[in-house]
Amino acid sequence: MDSSNRTNGAQERPIIQVRDMTCAYGDFVVVRDVNFDVRRGEVFVVLGGSGCGKSTVLKHVIGLNQPVKGRVFLDGEDFTAASERERLRLIRRFGVMYQSGALFGSMTLLENVRLPLEEFTNLPQEAMDFVANMKLSLVGLEGAANRMPAELSGGMQKRAAIARAMALDPDILFLDEPSAGLDPVTSAGLDELILSLSRNMGITFVIVTHELPSIMAIADRIIMLDKDAKTIVAEGDPRELKEHSDNPVVRQFFNRQADRAA
Amino acid sequence: MSNASTIEFSTAQGPAGSLTATFTGVLDADGAGRVWTRAVEAVRAGSGEVSLDVGGLSEIDGVGLGLLVALKAIQAEKGATLAIHGLPSALQTVIDRYDAAKLAELQKPRQQDRAGFVVRAGRFGWEVMRAAKGVISFVGECCIALVYAVLHPWSIRFKDLARQCELVGANGLGIIVLIGFLMGLILAFQTAITLIRFGAQAFVPNMLGLAMVREMGPLVTAILLAGRSGSAFAAEIGTMKVNDEINALVTMGLAPMRFLVTPKILAAMIMTPLLTLFFDLFSFVGGAVVMLSLDYPLESYAHRLFNNVSMTDFIGGLIKALVFSLLVAGVGCLQGLNTRNGAGAVGESTTAAVVGGIVLIAVADGLFAVIYYALGI
Ligand SMILES: Nc1ncnc2c1ncn2[C@@H]1O[C@H](COP(=O)(O)OP(=O)(O)OP(=O)(O)O)[C@@H](O)[C@H]1O
Ligand SMILES: [Mg+2]
């Protein structure tokens, strides 16, 4: 029965295609001419040192910022050149969790998760509450549904933000550092959740993270950005890269070695 | 995603109160929305086991799965079971992640907080008490900080003070000059057209001078200060509070009073009397424009205006401006520091800062009227 667009398969067209994308803030170029594909249903991880432009690339792919050059295709449709109407339609296909959580401070957790359901579905009240509670229970927050974001710990806010990103069951979930600030147990639980959603529901994940164990556990493929090269320095299966990469920067990252003092 | 999504839901009674339900079509957010209430009611009405056949579904998404879990939760509440047939095992795994009984528990209407009149009155009183305590301790801390600043002038952060003076004073000069000019013009014009009928337009400058220097100058300047700077103080400090920046200051051993509040209050107290002077001056210019247009000589206008205003009136007006500015800046900073959490709270404290500032100005103005009258000023 499963819907046709929810099956794994490498032979299909990639769900996201990024072509020659250059991202800049004013004159300050963050990354230049990056190319990568995200395949349907995979867990795709973006790596790199702090400040190398991971969040920036994410913001350009989801259309918050326009790339100065290059194109982003979502399911074959040119997202960068889409009209406002098309953009709104495409945007519904993905959910985003921002690095800082970005929960609405004046609403309870339940209301935060319910908001997209209220705006974009015709579910009855009872159903919206139920679905929102389900999403919260997925991230282990069912008891905190009626609390305000400011009353939560940092890790709880992160988890609530993930629940909100999942509210509309998007095809693609973008998570910016989901496990930063979580304890190892919760973090492992989150990894398990991501894998389960990806394998069972066919959701595609694009994740920014630094957690090496988590990368090894969940990533199908990674790309690694570098601040000095201003582009992608490695791409592929993290387990292979760790062992066989000939790039010292990549090896240093996977083996957790500090920069040698000059 | 098909646009013409169809969804069918049908039920059939079985033996011993059991129920067989069938979904066919597309059970996405849209479809689930259409059959949710019907399905939930049908399952709730039954008393026995429910068997759910979803083999006829061509598509299902997370909300659709949510409906299945919701039906499971209803059954769990009744202590019965729900058998789902025809679901791919991957999706069955997803459903099994959820604890149906716990979700059913959450769905129950919450105990509403229905406090009686006495309880509510008590809470309100307690809130008022707490707010009053907050104000008193803030006033105390403010006094200490200001006295300390006066006794140890080198402890003042002059860079901050200068920046605040620029924001409060220099940048506010334009609107003060404009409003002053217009107020003078309007007041002079309105009185002139009345007095001219008695041939008494010569008294317009007498009135204008006194009204502006004693009342309007300090009052309007302070109200503009509340709108421009009281709100800005509250928003700036409130945002810092929301972002934990105040806590960062405290843990660095920097008192927010000295670091944030003192420069703002001092800047307001230095600049407001000066702004009042400009306001007075330009209101006289406005009055002069009216009188000149009535062919009244400028020299007699100036002569009558300044003869009728004594030094005491003048100083009295400036003292009023000084006190108003202390109140406005103080309440702005206080509201900023009292900001609770969230972006909405910053808006609330900004509003409270402006409203509180204007109310305090009005009250203080009334007190000044009584005091000046008693002192014969
Ligand atoms: N709004 C902005 N305006 C100007 N420059 C920016 C802006 N946002 C980020 N930058 C710059 O772009 C570069 C990349 O920032 P980005 O936030 O993408 O890093 P990151 O890889 O996500 O780092 P981290 O792992 O620390 O989150 C940094 O040098 C940063 O200073
Ligand atoms: Mg980032």
Q: Report how far apart the first and last C-alpha atoms of chain A are (Å, whole number).
A: 60
Cβ atoms of A168 and A189 within 8 Å: the answer is no
Q: How far is CA A43 from CA A145, A206, B5, B14, in A?
A: 28, 6, 30, 45
Sheet with B19-27, edge to edge strand ranges: B7-13, B19-27, B50-60, B82-85
Token digits of residue B24: 């066919």
The residue count for chain B: 377
In this predicted structure, the answer to whether residue A262 has a pLDDT above a threshold of 50 is no
**Is the domain of B223 the same as that of B79?**
no
**Is the domain of B167 the same as that of B198?**
yes
**Is the domain of B139 the same as that of B81?**
no
- Among the partner residues B33, B99, B103, nearest to A127 by beta-carbon distance: B33
**Is the domain of B245 the same as that of B320?**
yes
Does residue A149 belong to the interface with chain B, where contact is any CB pair within 8 Å? Answer: yes
Does residue B271 belong to the interface with chain A, where contact is any CB pair within 8 Å? Answer: no
User: Strand, coil or helix: what is B144?
Assistant: helix
Cβ atoms of B180 and B286 within 8 Å: the answer is yes
**A1 chain-B contacts, CB cut-off 8 A:** 54-55, 57-60, 86-88
The preferred substitution site among A52, A61, A211 for testing ligand 1, maximizing ligand atoms within 8 Å of CB, is: A52
Q: Considering chain B, what is the average pLDDT of its residues? A: 88
- Among the partner residues B55, B97, B102, nearest to A138 by beta-carbon distance: B97
Does residue B321 belong to the interface with chain A, where contact is any CB pair within 8 Å? Answer: no
**Is the domain of B149 the same as that of B168?**
no
Ligand nearest the Cα atom of residue A209: 1
Q: Which residues of chain B have pLDDT under 50?
A: 1-3
Which chain B residue lies closest to A171 (C-alpha atoms)?
A: B61
**Is the domain of B160 the same as that of B149?**
no
**Looking at B97, B130, B154, which one is the last position of a domain?**
B154
Q: What is the DSSP letter of B300?
A: H
Does residue A90 belong to the interface with chain B, where contact is any CB pair within 8 Å? Answer: no
**Is the domain of B79 the same as that of B138?**
no
Considering only A40-49, A52-61, B7-16, B200-209, which range has the smallest mean pLDDT? Answer: B7-16
Helical (H) or strand (E) element with A210: none
Ligand 1 centroid distance, CA of A99 (Å): 11
Ligand 1 centroid distance, CA of A181 (Å): 19
**Is the domain of B270 the same as that of B168?**
yes
Residue among A42, A188, A201, A174 at smallest CA distance from A97: A174
Q: How far is CA A167 from CA A80, A231, B22, B197, B286, in A?
A: 25, 33, 26, 74, 62
**Is the domain of B189 the same as that of B311?**
yes
Q: What is the mean predicted confidence (pLDDT) over A32-56?
A: 91
Instruction: Give the pLDDT score at A31.
Output: 92
User: What residues have CB less than 8 Å from B239, skipping those under 6 apart?
Assistant: B245, B346
Instruction: Give the pLDDT score at A2.
Output: 43
Helices (H), chain B: 29-45, 62-78, 89-97, 100-107, 117-151, 158-168, 173-195, 204-210, 217-225, 231-242, 245-251, 256, 262-293, 298-308, 311-337, 343-375
- Residue that has been written with the tokens 């002069």 in this structure: B288
In whole angstroms, give the CA distance from residue B48 to residue B141. Answer: 69
In whole angstroms, give the CA distance from residue B69 to residue A130. Answer: 9
Residue among B229, B257, B210 at smallest CA distance from B324: B229
Atom of ligand 1 nearest to the CA of A59: 18
**A121 chain-B contacts, CB cut-off 8 A:** 29-30, 33, 63
ipTM score here? Answer: 0.76
Cβ atoms of A94 and A16 within 8 Å: the answer is no
**Is the domain of B68 the same as that of B147?**
no
What's the pTM? 0.74
**Is the domain of B211 the same as that of B321?**
yes
Does residue B34 belong to the interface with chain A, where contact is any CB pair within 8 Å? Answer: yes
Per the structure, the complete domain to which residue B123 belongs is given by: 113-154
Specify the number of domains making up chain B. Answer: 3
- Among the partner residues B55, B88, B341, nearest to A148 by beta-carbon distance: B341
Query: Does the C-beta of A104 come closer than 6 Å to ligand 1?
Result: no
pLDDT in tens, A78-135: 888 888 888 888 888 888 888 888 888 878 899 999 988 888 888 888 889 999 999 9
**Looking at B107, B137, B167, which one is the last position of a domain?**
B107
Query: Does the C-beta of A25 come closer than 6 Å to ligand 1?
Result: yes
Does residue B341 belong to the interface with chain A, where contact is any CB pair within 8 Å? Answer: yes
The residue count for chain A: 262
CB contact under 8 A, A137 and B103: yes
CB contact under 8 A, A124 and B36: yes
Instruction: Give the pLDDT score at A227.
Output: 87
Q: What is the mean predicted confidence (pLDDT) over A211-226?
A: 90
**Partners of A223 in beta bridges:** A46, A235
What is the distance, to the nearest Å, from the Cα of residue A121 to the centroid of all Cα atoms in its chain? 23
Residue among B96, B42, B99, B33 at smallest CA distance from B61: B33
**Is the domain of B203 the same as that of B351?**
yes
In whole angstroms, give the CA distance from residue B23 to residue A42. Answer: 30
**Banded model confidence at residue A150, pLDDT cuts 50, 70, 90:** confident
CB contact under 8 A, A106 and B344: yes
**Looking at B129, B154, B179, which one is the last position of a domain?**
B154
CA-closest residue to ligand 1 atom 18: A53
Instruction: Give the pLDDT score at A9.
Output: 44
The CATH number given to whatever domain includes residue B96 is 3.30.750.24
**A102 chain-B contacts, CB cut-off 8 A:** none
In whole angstroms, give the CA distance from residue A105 to residue A112. Answer: 9
In this predicted structure, the answer to whether residue A213 has a pLDDT above a threshold of 90 is no
